[in-house]
Amino acid sequence: MIIKDNIEYVDNFQNLIAKSRAIIADGHFVDISELKQHVHCLFGEIKKQHGNLLNADTDKLKAAVESSLNELDHLEKEMESQHNNLFIESKVLPRTATAAYKS
């Protein structure tokens, strides 16, 4: 992969993250296995090419990867929030249960 391909790959990765965040925002669940595959592939390619990249190329790639990591942080927070909301909603308070049986 050349630098342009790497940056394009990062852009596609960011699109996947954005789609995942939109799915979560709609209240649905998301499978992040595809994101994990992209991360492993991308960073594997970067490691392979590290010595062959020019400074300007590495700066562009670094900025793209940092942006992706920021988006991943947002996705993680949204997934944690979704999980916490489900946990709170699934809790039944003792008084609520007692009241339901009395009615």
Q: Look at residue 99 and tell me if it is in a domain.
A: no
Q: Look at residue 95 and tell me if it is in a domain.
A: no
pLDDT given for residue 89 in this prediction: 64
Q: Look at residue 103 and tell me if it is in a domain.
A: no
Q: Look at residue 100 and tell me if it is in a domain.
A: no
Q: Look at residue 96 and tell me if it is in a domain.
A: no
pLDDT given for residue 86 in this prediction: 77
Q: Look at residue 8 and tell me if it is in a domain.
A: yes
Q: Look at residue 98 and tell me if it is in a domain.
A: no
Q: Look at residue 97 and tell me if it is in a domain.
A: no
pLDDT given for residue 11 in this prediction: 84
> With bands split at pLDDT 50, 70 and 90, how would you rate the model's confidence at 93?
low
- Residue 53 sits at the vertex; the CA angle it makes with 49 and 58, to the nearest 5 degrees, is 105
Domain span including residue 58: 3-90
Looking at the 3D structure of the chain, how many domains does it have?
A: 1
Nearest to 18 by CA among 40, 36, 1, 35: 35
